[in-house]
Structure 1
Amino acid sequence: MVDQLVCDPHELRTLFLFERLTDDQLDWLCARGRVEHRPAGVVFTQGEPAEQLFVLLDGTIALSQRVGGDDVETTRTDQRGAYAGAWAAYLRDSDSRGYNATLRAVAPSRFFVLAAADFTELMTEWFPMALHLLEGLFYGGQKTRRVVGERERLLALGSLTAGLTHELNNPAAAAVRATSSLRERLAGMRHKLALIAGGAWDRKQLESLIQLQERAVEHVAKAPDLGPLETSDREDQVADWLGDHDIGGGYDLAPTLVQAGLDVDWLDRDLAATTGPDMLEGAVRWLNYTLETELLMDEIEDAATRISTLVTAAKQYSQMDRAPQQVLDVHELLSSTLVMLSKKLAGVRVVKDYDKTLPPIPVYGAELNQVWTNLIDNAVQAMDGAGTLTIRTERYGEDMVQVTIADTGPGIAPEAEGRIFEPFFTTKSVGEGTGLGLDISWRIVVNKHHGDIAVESEPGDTRFRVRLPLHEALADADPVAGERTP
């Protein structure tokens, strides 16, 4: 039950909000406002139209924010003059605003209550210059965060594009080289085929050669992965075998035969036993062309697969082909980000400790990838491009997924750790950072996903922990332009 009491202008003057007002202004406040006594309980609820400003006269209050399905207490105070409610009613777009938190009286409390419209009139007529300054600060800060946030995104995109271009160029160049070599080998095979057709080999010998060719090709797919020393030893053995059988250019032919998985035993068992001495050299050179062609086709396939993988990762990273909100596997998002940052990670040891039993979760994929990019990029810079990056996923409690991104850099200074998520705060040198990367990450995780992000740091071990709900109704707010909630 709400009890209305007498408003005393002298009591209002004892509050820090009103201590410098004139007697007429205090009388105006009492005439327009009212004093209410409220029992312990909810005063207003987050999301309801922000119609009133509440100023605490005595008692204890608590403010809470809705995070997922829970109300998380952000402030508790018994300080006289503490205020909540329609404090931003003077802003031009305030008609569409709701209370940004829930106010609860922890104990029976008294409030001075003023309607939002009266508070707007007060601000407009009594403090016109202050009103302009506040509006400029609010909207200017909002615009600045948006513009610098977009620049942060463009800088990240430019960096990622450069890395992606570099990664795409390598397999593309390899495919071009392999295609050029393949064209030469095919021309050589046509020439060799003409020689074979005009030679003294009968049909049975040609059939045996074709069967031998098929068996040799099968070895390409099964070729062992040899080290440099073992490869060199086998090439010497094969070259010696070819020389012993009077086949010229053995050291030119041996690398292809060894790369295809053939050794001296195969040459004795399959090649020499199938062909006679008179056709041995021709068979070896025909096989060499065949195997070179097969190896080049494998190289082209590997290059095309690499390009396809990079393009797929880029699409996964940007979520170009998906709706903004999707139920996605967090590991796929992390993997696509690592692919996009692979150039920067060249000197870094990456350890992936994934809990593959985690279910897909509802997320904004492209924006969450921006969080991973910011955290991983910061970690790599902190380690100066060399160290260990650990990415761990696990369940946190009953309804959260936790992603930890850790680095072995020098750590964050204690005086900076508490400010790390503040907008425009940066520990980087001038020109190297905008100070918005972690602020944007905070907004994406907390405001948009109703999750949590925190940091723990000491020299050699800095860990950013991101917690995301397993099941969550996602927010619609712009995480860059939106206001940070208390």
Structure 2
Amino acid sequence: MNLVETLRQFPAFDGVPDEQLQWVIGRSEEVTIPAETIIYKANDPVDYLSLLLEGRIRIDTGTNSSGDEILTYDAHAILGVLPFSRMKSIPNRMVTEKETRLLRLHRNQLPDLIHACYELTEALVHQMTTRVRDFTKLTQQNEKMASLGRLSAGLAHELNNPVAAVVRSADTLKTHMRATPEAFKTIMHLNLTDEQVDSVNTVFFGKLDQCLAKGAGSPMTLLERSNLEDDLTDWLDDHGVDDSMDLAGPLVEYCFTVEDLDWILEKIGDKNLLGVVTWLVNNLVTEKLVLDISEASKRISTLVNSIKNYTHMDRGTGKERIQLAEGIRNTLTLLDHKVRSKHINLTLNLPSDLPDVCGWPGELNQVWTNLIDNAVDALPDGGTLEISSQPDGSDFVLTKVIDNGSGIPGDIQDKIFEPFFTTKGIGKGTGLGLDIVQGIVKHHNGSVKVQSKPGRTEFSVCLPTQ
């Protein structure tokens, strides 16, 4: 099979006259490259339009060989520089997966090709637009997956704590409930009047409320707790209560003092003391375990609702009225672990009367994710992050993400929105986050700007309300 017949098998060349294919053949060189040969390293200059006659070519990151594959091209694919293309280099490595035969036309021939071969030029330009569209879709999807991976890691960590609390409290409650029959036997032998029962109930609910209120205050020091346990143990021993050490710990946990036990003793008498104290401890422990399970379950529910609202999986994909504050808060909930891990001081200024904007909520959530995630990465331990939104005139809302990190050097500030440009280390950033942010904001007819100096970096996102 001659080369014209081979080129005729390229889908892109359907309808291209033979003489134009022959024009390319006459000015090209045919090369055969062994398998697993690096054709281009990352950022090498690309000087050829390459027609893949036979074999397979892989585009990968160049870090872990084929394990980091991005794209593969089989026979009849068109690679390299194209007419009117601004391509100077490729950001990734190009490698042959098996023995490969290429027909290569140097970029110096492209101006003549454009003038001499109209149909071929048209086919190659169409190939370029298809390539740009497919590559843009791929890179955006990769960045979305990277963003989702970061959120998933944080969400898994956030869910782990309340889930562990539920499991731990449920196991403790199960063990605790096994003692209920024995405690019930003791209760059945008590001889209490209605007034005495009311007194016990009063102290029970009073201490439960006091215990819950204490959770928001300052906890006892180890020394204070130890001294109080000793006092309660001595009091119980003096009044002939068995297992005083086992009871003293829970009584301290639920804010009992010697004065409380004196009051109970005065109301119920010596003979009922052990049964009443045991009942109080058992029920307070049960109530506290149930409350712990309830609080942990609420935390899980909050996280699930946040991810549901963040992804908007229960809504359509069209444009709608959006409350920016809700999207920002949902994003912060999912990034909370990362914020807390660096002890970042977070300041939020999101007015309740902030005007709605019109747009695609899933896309805007990706904007907040990238900006906040980048700010957290740039901050030192104990840094400050400030997020604010306010009306900007009558038709716009201005949202600012400000950090007090090291800042962005002035000589690269005009490059940070370029695709694949990143200041992060290898493997820590794709260089696509801010490019996608800019694309999404433009899609909403808005603007995004950056001002940075050491100690203050401010990203401003202006979005229309109409």
Question: TM over 0.5, yes or no?
Answer: yes
Alignment correspondent of 1:338? 332
The superposition leaves residues 431-467 of structure 1 with CA deviations (integer Å, 9 ceiling, x where unpaired) of 33222111111111112x1111111111111111001
Which deviations, in whole Å up to 9, do the C-alpha atoms of 1:343-398 show, x marking residues without a partner?
Answer: 21121221112222213322311111101111111111222565211111111122
- After TM superposition, the structure 1 = structure 2 runs for residues 372-387 of structure 1, keeping only pairs within 5 Å, are 372-383=368-379, 386-387=382-383
| Helix, strand or coil at the partner of 1:305 | helix
The answer for the alignment partner of 1:465 in structure 2 is 460
Equivalent residue number for residue 313 of structure 1: 306
Amino acid at match of 1:147: L
In 1, Cα distance between the equivalents of 2:352 and 2:257? 42
Partner of 1:298: 291
Q: Map 1:35-434 to 2 at 5 A.
A: 127=118, 130-197=121-188, 199=189, 201-202=191-192, 204=194, 209-210=200-201, 212-223=203-214, 225-229=216-220, 232-233=223-224, 236-237=227-228, 239-246=230-237, 247-269=241-263, 271-324=264-317, 325-346=319-340, 347=342, 348-383=344-379, 386-434=382-430
Give 3-state SS (helix, strand or coil) of 1:430's partner: coil
In structure 2, distance between residues paired with 1:470 and 1:208? 61
In structure 2, distance between residues paired with 1:425 and 1:200: 77
Contact 2:324 2:356 in 1 (8 A): yes
Deviation, 1:182, is: 1.1
Native 8 Å contact 1:220 1:294 kept in 2: no
Distance 1:440 1:397, change over 3 A: same
Relative to structure 1, the CA distance from residue 339 to residue 225 in structure 2 (aligned partners, 3 Å threshold; closer, same or farther) is: closer
Where 2:172 maps in the other structure, the secondary structure is: helix
Is contact 2:235-2:258 (8 Å) kept?
Answer: no
Distance 1:212 1:430, change over 3 A: closer
CA contact (8 A) 2:379 2:404 kept: yes
**Residue matched to 1:446:** 442
| Secondary structure of the corresponding residue to residue 403 of structure 1 | strand
Residue 191 of structure 2 aligns with an amino acid whose one-letter code is W
State which drifts further: 140-149 or 202-211: 202-211
Q: Secondary structure at the match of 1:345?
A: helix
Cα distance in 1 for partners of 2:376, 2:147 equals 14
**In the aligned structure 2, how far is the partner of 1:251 from the partner of 1:226?**
26
Q: CA contact under 8 A between 2:228 and 2:252: conserved in structure 1?
A: no
Match of 1:14 in 2: none
Amino acid at match of 1:256: P
1:419 counterpart SS class: coil
Q: Contact 1:392–1:403 at 8 Å: present in 2 too?
A: yes
The answer to whether the 8 A contact 1:242-1:248 is kept is no
Paired with 2:163 and 2:175, the residues of 1 have a C-alpha distance of: 19
Distance in 1 of aligned mates of 2:388 and 2:121: 49
Cα deviation code 1:61-96 (max 9, x no counterpart): xxxxxxxxxxxxxxxxxxxxxxxxxxxxx9xxxxxx
Paired with 1:170 and 1:382, the residues of 2 have a C-alpha distance of 27
One-letter identity of the residue aligned with 2:302: T
5+ long unaligned stretches in structure 1:
1-89, 91-121, 472-486
TM-align CA RMSD: 2.7
Residues 228 and 214 of structure 1: CA distance in aligned 2, closer, same or farther (over 3 Å): closer
How far is 1:186 from its partner?
2.0
Contact 1:412/1:457 (<8 A) preserved: yes
Indicate the larger mover: 277-286 or 253-262. 253-262
Which amino acid is 1:193 matched to? F
- The amino acid across from 1:437 in the alignment is G
Distance in 1, matches of 2:190 and 2:420, equals: 83
Who is 1:476 aligned against? none
Residue by residue, what CA displacement relative to the aligned partner does 1:296-321 show, whole Å, maximum 9, x if unpaired?
01100010000000001101111111
State the Cα distance separating 1:202 from its structure 2 match.
Answer: 4.9
Q: Give the secondary structure class of the aligned counterpart of 1:395.
A: strand
- Contact 2:355–2:391 under 8 Å retained in 1: no
**What SS does the corresponding residue of 2:179 show, helix, strand or coil?**
helix
2: CA distance, partners of 1:231 / 1:328:
49
**Aligned pair count?**
349
Change in CA separation of 1:342 and 1:451 when aligned onto 2, cut-off 3 Å: same
- Structure 1 CA distance for aligned equivalents of residues 407 and 204 of structure 2: 60
Q: CA deviation at 1:214?
A: 4.3
Q: TM-score, normalised by structure 2?
A: 0.68
Select between 274-283 and 171-180 the one with higher mean Cα deviation. 274-283
Separation of aligned partners in 2, 1:207 and 1:411: 65
**Aligned-pair distance for 1:265?**
3.6
Deviation at 1:468, TM superposition (A): 0.9
Does the aligned pair in 1 maintain the 2:187–2:279 contact within 8 Å? no
Counterparts of 1:304 and 1:352, CA distance in 2: 26
- Tell me the CA shift for residue 295 of structure 1: 0.7
Q: Percent same amino acid at aligned positions?
A: 35
Deviations 1:107-161 (A, max 9, x none): xxxxxxxxxxxxxxx9786555554554333321221111011011111111211
Q: Does the 8 Å contact 1:231/1:258 carry over to 2?
A: no
Write the letter of the residue equivalent to 1:340.
L
1:254 Cα deviation after fit: 3.6
1:423 partner letter: P
Residue identity opposite 1:201 in structure 2: N
Q: Can you list the C-alpha shifts for 1:175-216, whole angstroms capped at 9, x where unaligned?
A: 01101111222222331111221x252555556545554444
Give 1:268 deviation, angstroms: 3.0
Check conservation: 1:368, 1:444, Cα contact below 8 A: yes
Preserved contact between residue 344 and residue 380 of structure 1 (Cα < 8 Å): yes
